[in-house]
Amino acid sequence: MKTLKKNGAAKAVNKSYNALSVNPAVLDCDYYRFAELDAGAVNAYANEYMSQYYWADFMFNDF
């Protein structure tokens, strides 16, 4: 958290008692855009993306 604060990125992490999570609302993430079927992000991938991991397939995620 010190490093995130130092670089102005502390809002990218939600911090509460005994828990940390990512705040996707403040991130520019190609994976999140791909999961939302953003045309630019989808077209950027010409090959498989981490196909060896079932959890990496956006079809299996509950976005």
Handedness of CA 17, 20, 21, 23 (dihedral sign): positive
Total domains, the chain: 1
What is the average pLDDT score of the chain? 82
Residue 39 domain boundaries? 2-60
Q: Is 28 helix (H, G, I), strand (E, B) or coil?
A: coil
- pLDDT, one tens digit per residue, over 19-38 is 999 998 998 888 888 888 89
pLDDT at 58 over 60: no
pTM here? 0.55
- The residue assigned the tokens 């077209």 is 43
pLDDT of residue 36: 87
Q: Is 21 helix (H, G, I), strand (E, B) or coil?
A: strand
β-bridge mates for residue 15, sequence order: 20
Which tokens in the block code for residue 5?
A: 């604060």
pLDDT at 59 over 60: no
